[in-house]
């Protein structure tokens, strides 16, 4: 299963969202530098390493923005540990304004 599909499955199971959009933005990060195993490397923009998550879920009602981010990161902890490099998270509860 792709990382993209795994992210969608885990977020659907954890939050039962009304809306969920998982966007692979890895290609936008080509040429960026990061440290991998103690060495500086230049990211080539391929693969599934950078994602934007847009999610609207009743589970976020009453939660602070930080707590929402923590909840998503906790749900995807295994993927983050396994090499998922970055998540841009846009969480909202139903009825809250979104930019998308």
86: its two tokens: 């970055």
What's the pTM value of the predicted model, to 2 decimals? 0.81
Give residue for tokens 């139903």.
94
- Looking only at the bridges linking them, the beta strands covering 33-36 and 39-42 are antiparallel
Residues in the chain, overall count: 100
Number of Cβ within 10 Å of residue 12's Cβ equals 13
Domain residue extents for the chain: 3-92
Quote the Cα angle for 18-53-82, to 5°: 125
pLDDT of residue 83: 81
Superfamily of domain 3-92: BolA-like (3.30.300.90)
pLDDT of residue 39: 52
Average pLDDT, the chain: 86
CA–CA dist 49, 84 (Å, integer): 5
């Amino acid at each position: 299963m792709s990382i993209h599909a795994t992210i969608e499955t885990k977020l659907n199971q954890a939050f039962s969202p009304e809306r969920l959009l998982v966007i692979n933005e890895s290609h936008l990060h080509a040429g960026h530098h990061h440290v991998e195993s103690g060495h500086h490397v230049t990211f080539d923009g391929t693969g599934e390493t950078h994602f934007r998550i847009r999610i609207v879920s009743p589970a976020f009602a009453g939660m602070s923005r930080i707590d929402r981010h923590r909840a998503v990161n906790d749900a995807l902890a295994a993927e983050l540990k396994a090499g998922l490099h970055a998540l841009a998270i846009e969480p909202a509860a139903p009825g809250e304004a979104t930019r998308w």
